[in-house]
Structure 1
Amino acid sequence: MRLSLIAKLSIASSIVLLITMGLFAYINVEQLQKLLFEEAITDADKLGETIVRTTHYNMLENNRRRAYQVIDEVGSQRAIIERIRMINKYGLITHSTDHKEIGLYLDKKAEACNMCHSGPSPLVHATSMNRSRFFHNREGKLVLGIAKAIYNEERCFTASCHFHPKEAKVLGVLDVIVSLDSMHQKVYTYRNEIIILTFFQICLISLCLTFFTQRLVNKPVRRLVRHAHLIGSGELEARVAITSHDELGELGNAFNDMTASLKRARIELEDWGKNLEAKVDERTQQIKQMQAQLVHSEKLASLGELVAGIAHEINNPLTGILVFASLLANDSKLDPSLKGDLDLIVKETQRCAKIVKGLLDFSRESIPQKKPSAVNAIMDATLTLVCHQSCFHDVTVIKEYNPDIPEMLLDPHQIEQVFINLLLNACHAIAGPGEIRIKTGISKENHSAYIAISDTGCGIPEENLSKIFDPFFTTKENKGTGLGLSVSYGIIEGHGGRIEVQSTVGVGTTFTVWLPFINPDDQESPPDQSSPQPDNG
């Protein structure tokens, strides 16, 4: 059986109250009984003193009959006084309200005597507590007895009727025995009142505890339990009503904060779940690009080793063919009909030599000779070299330089070679009137500088975009070797950068070269600018 919190608190508090009130009642009853006993002894002692003084004159007049009448009249109050008796110094009961014991002798060890005769010599003076005794009468009731000594005063031993010697100290004892029924009745009544009061106090306190526990503890706890169940079922909109600023109120606030945090976390998880597919696709594309770059780099490395050997083997015989063909073409003895054939041999041999030179340049891993260089200055020098070529006559070059690009550690000759290849490719793609836009800038987020070369040419088909950096890939018929972009790719990669391309057929192409700053944290922080957007005319 499951007990509620209120029941447990009520039972526990009732037990504590019962024990506390029981102990308190027991101590109170004991103290009351002790006080009533002391009061009874005092009253009995005063009664004995009153009887002695009342009968003193009659005894001096030797009017014992009158003295005994006074004792009998006092002893007639049976509800209070059990017995009154006079005992002389020899232990003889000279008078008693119980006439049956008149004339009897008492032993010194009797209850009425042993208080004074307990030692080797009798006590002359004793306190009321030492002279009192509690015992049970013939009916089994508890009674109080107190002995009052009758001293031999001067009037006693000088009276004519008395024969007590002057040396006698005590003439006798007045023994008063009183009933304790009224005292016991008071104790019982008080005890019953204490029990009833304790019961009502326990009931009242239990009711108060139940009421306040229900209001201050049980209701808030039930609200918290209900709220916990709602949270468990996914109801994160629920809130605990705060009705106090105590510990339970703080706990309610903590529950509300926890619910709000759970709601935020669930919203974030839902958003993350919704965007997970897009993020996975994005990361997959990044991985594919990285894999493509790795494959391309491995392809270039392997192909470089292969073409280096082939180029060296072909270069020597090709040089001999070119030399002897040139000599024969210039020989005056040569038949004029063979002159055209020899010129064709020389032209094609020179073309082969150019291809071999490109192969050697592609395979040769030249270490960049870096020095502080300005990207804008290198681009201007490159334009000076190529702008006089015939393909640039109808092309407009637009320069959008960022003057805040700091100097970087570059090999200016290699970077110039990359710019030449990109500008010539752009010019060949236009093949007539058009526009080349050159834009430079920096990206604080990437800690890099960029150079974007955009043309308004024919564009590159999408299926060829993944192949343009492969060696020997070219779309030019009888023009070029297909090694320019491959060599440029290797140079930029050697500088820790990258080349990106965006192209639309019929609109144009944009090549973007990214070159990282060396130790960007030590450089003067350049102004933040956005990445270039392809300008395809």
Structure 2
Amino acid sequence: MYRTTAYHYFLGLNHKKRLNYTSKKVTDLKRRIKFRSTIYGQVVHIITILSVFLFLSFGTIFRTINKEYLNTVIQQNGNNIGSIVEGALYHSMLTNDRSALRNTLDVINTLPGIEDVNMYDSQDNLVYSPFSSDSVGYNNPNCKDCHTNINTMFSRKTKSFRIVSLDSECEMSKKAYDFRLLLIRSPILNEKSCYTSSCHAHKESDDLLGSFVIRIPLEDLDKSVKKSSTNFFLLAALTTILMLTFLMFFTRRKIKNPLNAIIMASEAVSRGDISKRLEIKPNQLNDINMVSSAFNEMLDNLASASNELQNWSQQLEYKVQKKSEELSEIQNELIHVERIASLGKLSSSVAHEINNPLSGVLTYTKLVQKQIHKLTLDDAEKMPMLKYLKVIEEETKRCGDIVKGLLDFSRKDQQDFKINQLHKILRESYSLMEHQMKMANINFFTDFSAGCDLVNSSENQIKQACIAILLNASEAIFENGEILMKTSNPDEDNIMIEIRDNGIGIAPEDIPHIFEPFFSTKGKATGIGLGLAIVHGIVQNHNGKVEVDSELGKGTTISIILPVINDQKLF
């Protein structure tokens, strides 16, 4: 049981290791594929292939040219050596001095750069060789066969060359050669000096008298060539690696890094960040700078468009908010107007119903007063009754004033409307209130600076509205206070009447209700709350509007805005 569990455990570990190794291999493969699919990867791949191809191509070309040049040099050296040997042997052969000829050949065979010189007769039989005849013998069948077929290796009548590697089993050589040899066969042609010489027995018809073969070792030359080739290939490989490294560094700096910057900026833009800009460097490629400049310009245009859209959105939001406030104000105004209209109808009916009983009470009160005066009663009895009747009369008149106010509030007729000069109506209102203001020690000022003051209005209603506002202002200020009544034209179609005081002001929570009927902040003793309601009704009846600006402890300004009649509307 324990062995089975351990086996499964190690089997699971091996499986996990294989999975991790496979996952790592897949990740590396994906990374390589991704690298190969990028511009930088493609450029590096092409540069690497091109560098290897150039390295191999130049190596092959160098090897071919070097080989041809080496063969040319070898032939030139061999030709020179052959000519030197011919010149050294010429006199000995001409005089048929065999001893001198052998001595000269022995000297030549000891010279550095010459392996040996072998001489053959016209039948290609070996007549001289530096090898000892005792050890080998010239009639060796193998050697005889080689020398017999020597014409298969060289041209018969012209100087010829052959490069061989002496790895055969030829017993004529005492050395085991591990390098190449240059074989030069120089034919000895029959010249006039030869067949006319007294010492030679050659006929004139003999064209070839013999030949000699010079063997020149190429060991030093091959070593030099091998060393130079090795150095060349090392230098070429080093140059290729340096060039490849430089090209990769250049590609990374001039292509990959700018492209990565563009990619990062694009990803930032995709995340909504349009504040990033690409750096334009003077040492960058012109194409990269053009792309960076175009990208920055695109971001500038995008930022400008975004700011413009944001500004338009803010303006639209502000306009929507303003229109919503205006609609809310208009809705409240409509509700207020509807409420005033309903109250006006109710006030009119109630006023007419109350007015008749009040008139009867007032009439009978005065009649009772007259009857009491006629009676012969003591003053102690008469005076209390007259006092009570006086109170009844005053309260009845007060109720009458309330009924009159209700009637004025409910009256909306425009039968007495005509074109009036508003300044004339305001001056008359000023004259009516001037004495009362002086009595209350209030400084009363006017400033009628409006240029156009023609309005289609009811003179009495305008006076009533202004006097009601002035009365409220006088009741709201203390002794030595100030009231200013002024006019101005906010635009060419309207005139504004401002009545400003420096009194106690109105609380902000009371301002929305001051034009409602029976609303008052002065208490039951001094007001019934119909003054400003009547003002609002009058202004509405003149197609105008009323505005209130007040601050506690600093005063109140009530503005009446009415449409004017300019010269174009008159004609």
What pairs with 1:92-241 in structure 2 (closer than 5 Å)? Answer: 92-98=125-131, 100=136, 102=138, 104-105=143-144, 113-116=152-155, 125=158, 131-138=161-168, 139=176, 140-160=178-198, 161-166=200-205, 168=207, 170-187=208-225, 189-190=227-228
Cα gap change, 1:343/1:356 in structure 2, threshold over 3 Å: closer, same or farther? Answer: same
Distance 1:194 1:392 in 2: 121
Distance 2:341 2:475 in 1: 30
Cα gap change, 1:513/1:348 in structure 2, threshold over 3 Å: closer, same or farther? Answer: closer
Cα gap change, 1:148/1:380 in structure 2, threshold over 3 Å: closer, same or farther? Answer: farther
**2:92 corresponds to which residue?**
58
Give secondary structure in 2 for the equivalent of 1:306. Answer: helix
Distance 1:42 1:408 in 2: 128
Cα gap change, 1:484/1:20 in structure 2, threshold over 3 Å: closer, same or farther? Answer: farther
**Larger CA deviation: 140-149 vs 187-196:** 187-196
Answering whether residue 389 of structure 2 is matched by residue 356 of structure 1, we say no
Answering whether residue 551 of structure 2 is matched by residue 502 of structure 1, we say yes
Answering whether residue 428 of structure 2 is matched by residue 392 of structure 1, we say no
Contact 2:348-2:406 within 8 A present in 1 as well: no
Contact 1:111-1:133 within 8 A present in 2 as well: no
Contact 1:473-1:483 within 8 A present in 2 as well: yes
Contact 1:29-1:187 within 8 A present in 2 as well: no
Give the drift of 1:50.
1.2
Per the normalisation by structure 1, the TM-score is: 0.54
Distance 1:145 1:385 in 2: 147
Give the drift of 1:502.
2.0
1:60 partner amino acid:
L
**Larger CA deviation: 303-312 vs 484-493:** 484-493
Contact 1:439-1:451 within 8 A present in 2 as well: yes
Cα gap change, 1:53/1:354 in structure 2, threshold over 3 Å: closer, same or farther? Answer: same
Give secondary structure in 2 for the equivalent of 1:81. Answer: coil
Of 467, 470, 477, the residue aligned with 1:423 is 470
Give secondary structure in 2 for the equivalent of 1:303. Answer: helix
Contact 1:437-1:453 within 8 A present in 2 as well: yes
Give secondary structure in 2 for the equivalent of 1:387. Answer: helix
Give the drift of 1:387.
2.7
Distance 1:293 1:386 in 2: 32
Of 340, 351, 354, the residue aligned with 1:304 is 340
Answering whether residue 76 of structure 2 is matched by residue 42 of structure 1, we say yes
**1:80 corresponds to which residue?**
113
Per the normalisation by structure 2, the TM-score is: 0.51
**1:382 corresponds to which residue?**
426
**Larger CA deviation: 94-103 vs 175-184:** 94-103
Give secondary structure in 2 for the equivalent of 1:156. Answer: helix
Distance 2:344 2:487 in 1: 35
Contact 1:33-1:187 within 8 A present in 2 as well: no
1:49 partner amino acid:
S
Contact 2:185-2:214 within 8 A present in 1 as well: yes
Per-residue CA deviation, residues 78-97 of structure 1 (Å, 9 max, x unaligned), is x5322322344543333333
Per-residue CA deviation, residues 277-306 of structure 1 (Å, 9 max, x unaligned), is xxxxxxxxx9xx999968954651452353
* Structure 2 alignment gaps of length 5 or more: 1-43, 169-175, 254-280, 285-321, 373-388, 565-571
**Larger CA deviation: 308-317 vs 83-92:** 308-317
Give secondary structure in 1 for the equivalent of 2:432. Answer: coil
Give the drift of 1:195.
8.7
Give the drift of 1:48.
1.0
Give the drift of 1:30.
7.7
Cα gap change, 1:410/1:36 in structure 2, threshold over 3 Å: closer, same or farther? Answer: farther
Per-residue CA deviation, residues 418-444 of structure 1 (Å, 9 max, x unaligned), is 655433321343487642134667999
Of 435, 454, 479, the residue aligned with 2:482 is 435
Per-residue CA deviation, residues 362-381 of structure 1 (Å, 9 max, x unaligned), is xx9x9xx999x9xxx84664
1:136 partner amino acid:
L
Give secondary structure in 1 for the equivalent of 2:101. Answer: helix
Contact 1:135-1:143 within 8 A present in 2 as well: yes
Per-residue CA deviation, residues 30-60 of structure 1 (Å, 9 max, x unaligned), is 8667655533332222111111222223222
Cα gap change, 1:312/1:424 in structure 2, threshold over 3 Å: closer, same or farther? Answer: closer
Cα gap change, 1:443/1:200 in structure 2, threshold over 3 Å: closer, same or farther? Answer: farther
**Larger CA deviation: 430-439 vs 140-149:** 430-439
Give secondary structure in 1 for the equivalent of 2:163. Answer: strand
Distance 2:396 2:227 in 1: 146
Contact 1:25-1:191 within 8 A present in 2 as well: no
Give secondary structure in 2 for the equivalent of 1:80. Answer: coil
Contact 2:505-2:552 within 8 A present in 1 as well: yes
Distance 1:353 1:416 in 2: 16
More helix by share: 2
Of 485, 500, 505, the residue aligned with 2:532 is 485
Distance 1:70 1:40 in 2: 24
Give secondary structure in 1 for the equivalent of 2:552. Answer: strand
Give secondary structure in 1 for the equivalent of 2:115. Answer: strand
Cα gap change, 1:193/1:461 in structure 2, threshold over 3 Å: closer, same or farther? Answer: closer
Distance 1:102 1:487 in 2: 160
Distance 2:453 2:93 in 1: 144
Distance 1:165 1:91 in 2: 20
Contact 2:82-2:186 within 8 A present in 1 as well: yes
Distance 1:300 1:309 in 2: 14
Distance 1:165 1:336 in 2: 202
Per-residue CA deviation, residues 118-152 of structure 1 (Å, 9 max, x unaligned), is xxxx7x557x6xx3324234533222223333333
Distance 1:497 1:321 in 2: 36
Give secondary structure in 2 for the equivalent of 1:388. Answer: helix
**1:91 corresponds to which residue?**
124
2:436 partner amino acid:
C
Cα gap change, 1:299/1:443 in structure 2, threshold over 3 Å: closer, same or farther? Answer: closer
**1:473 corresponds to which residue?**
519
Distance 1:497 1:335 in 2: 46
